[in-house]
Amino acid sequence: MFDFEKPKNPYRKKGKDYNLSENSKLAGADFAYSNTLASRIYKQMKIIQDDSAKYESFLRLKKKLYMVIRNDRQHALGQLKLGYGNINPLKNFRFSKKTNWQTFFMNFPTANFDVEKVELCISTPPILARELDTLPERVRKVILKMHIIKVAIDDENTVDVSSSKELVIVKGDDVESRSVIFSIKNRPNVLLLCVATVRMWLLSTDHKEEFLTRNTKYMTAEIFDAILIRNGQICKFEEETNKESHSPEFPDSDEELDWV
């Protein structure tokens, strides 16, 4: 396993060993690699929630991802890679800065990786009816979905996404904690970006019908957790704490996964 405790990359040149021209070219190669990877992740963000993922989102994602890639403690400048250093800067990344999960709910979902079963369990917190009391009267239903963007930690860095089915919350109802299971089998080296999305159904102004609004103040999409798996094991970082694992029943399909 990798030693993430060492604060510095021994391959990084400094002081009299630092050649501006040489290292500028190497840093440029790392920046180009980061931009390519950011584009792949952004394409999945657009699939997840297009109305929240705009060009401004992409610019912020590029900055965050470059920070993560610069955390690489294994490779020399010019050959830096994702997945060899602290990935925590990606946590709590919002597709849009207008809203976040806590605009609507008090507590975040949780993500727990089961090493033995090679499964990721995402659980919503219990949601009380009063948490939605601040929403306008026209709001009739709140739609939650959970997603994981999977970035392969290898030479290809392929990116794909898996999503849950919709969890519908009728305004005025209390909702117990619900969970959804994602299989991570055959993915021993992968970065998992755990995304929660919120959309809302409104009552029309003439009170005759309900519709799914595209108004961005009634939605959010957020990377609430980022988990790095290397050789089938979770890579822990200093600010992380252990979380309890959940073990609900495993569903049959990885397409639009059911809640349990």
Write out pLDDT tens, residues 7-16. 566 665 555 5
pLDDT recorded at residue 242: 40
What's the pLDDT at 22? 76
Inside any domain, residue 242: no
End-to-end CA distance of the chain: 34
What is the extent of the structural domain holding 65?
15-234
Biggest CA–CA distance in the chain, Å, is 73
Residue 250 has pLDDT above 60, yes or no: no
Q: Tell me: pLDDT of 204 over 70.
A: yes
Q: Is residue 68 part of a domain?
A: yes
How far, in Å, CA of 167 to CA of 197, rounded? 10
The reported pLDDT for the residue numbered 246 is 33
Contact 3, 84 (CB under 8 A): no
Residue at 223 is within a domain: yes
Angle between helices 55-70 and 20-48 (to 10 degrees): 130
Q: Read off the pLDDT band of 5 (50, 70, 90).
A: low
**239 occurs within a structural domain:** no
Residue 4 lies in a domain: no
Whether 24 shows a pLDDT value over 90: the answer reads: no
Phi/psi of residue 155, nearest 5 degrees: -70, -25
Residue 215 in tokens: 């108004």
CB 182 within 8 A of CB 254: yes
Q: Would residue 113 count as lying in a domain?
A: yes
- The mean of the pLDDT values for the chain is 88
**172 in any annotated domain:** yes
For residue 5, being part of any structural domain is answered with no
248 against 167, higher pLDDT: 167
In the chain, pLDDT over 70 holds for what percent of residues? 85
Residue with token string 């180009």: 32
Whether 97 has a pLDDT exceeding 60, the answer reads yes
Number of structural domains (the chain) is: 1
Model pLDDT, residue 70: 94
